[in-house]
């Protein structure tokens, strides 16, 4: 019985090896593609949120990429800090609203620093 197991175990491992390697490779590729798609979505939503924040906070234009960065930063700021303060909007629309509020606050801070410098 022990000899049979010693003979069968390497055969089973060799048989499962390539399939397991393919699954790991597919998972790594899927993770990479998901990361790229998530990053593109964050940039698009950040651009929209930053643009809206730029419309709300009138003044000298910050530029597209600054608005995108402020939008992404405001989204992160709002979606991390507001739940810590016990404020939750509970829906995608509410989260978007929180991101706009965070971007407006961040844009005001950026403009205060620029004027002070």
Say if residue 65's pLDDT is above 50: yes
Query: Which tokens is 75 given?
Result: 């989204």
Nearest to 103 by CA among 71, 81, 76: 71
Q: Using pLDDT thresholds of 50, 70 and 90, give the confidence band for residue 63.
A: confident
CA distance 71 to 101: 10
| Model pLDDT for residues 48-58, shown as the tens digit of each residue | 888 888 888 87
pTM: 0.62
Token pair 């593109």 is found at 40
In eight-state DSSP terms, residue 117 is: -
What's the DSSP call for residue 115?
Answer: H
Residue 21: predicted pLDDT = 58
The pLDDT value given to residue 15: 52
Q: CA torsion, points 60, 63, 65, 69, in degrees to nearest 10?
A: 10
Average pLDDT in the chain: 74
């Amino acid at each position: 019985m022990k000899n049979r197991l010693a003979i069968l175990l390497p055969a089973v491992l060799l048989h499962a090896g390539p399939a397991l390697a393919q699954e790991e490779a597919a998972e790594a590729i899927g993770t990479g593609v998901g990361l790229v798609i998530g990053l593109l979505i964050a940039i698009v939503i950040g651009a929209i949120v930053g643009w809206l924040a730029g419309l709300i906070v009138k003044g000298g234009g910050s530029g597209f990429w600054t608005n995108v960065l402020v939008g992404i930063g405001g989204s992160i700021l709002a979606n991390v800090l507001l739940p810590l303060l016990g404020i939750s909007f509970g829906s995608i629309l509410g989260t978007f609203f929180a991101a706009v509020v965070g971007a407006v606050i961040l844009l005001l801070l950026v403009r205060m620093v620029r004027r002070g410098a």
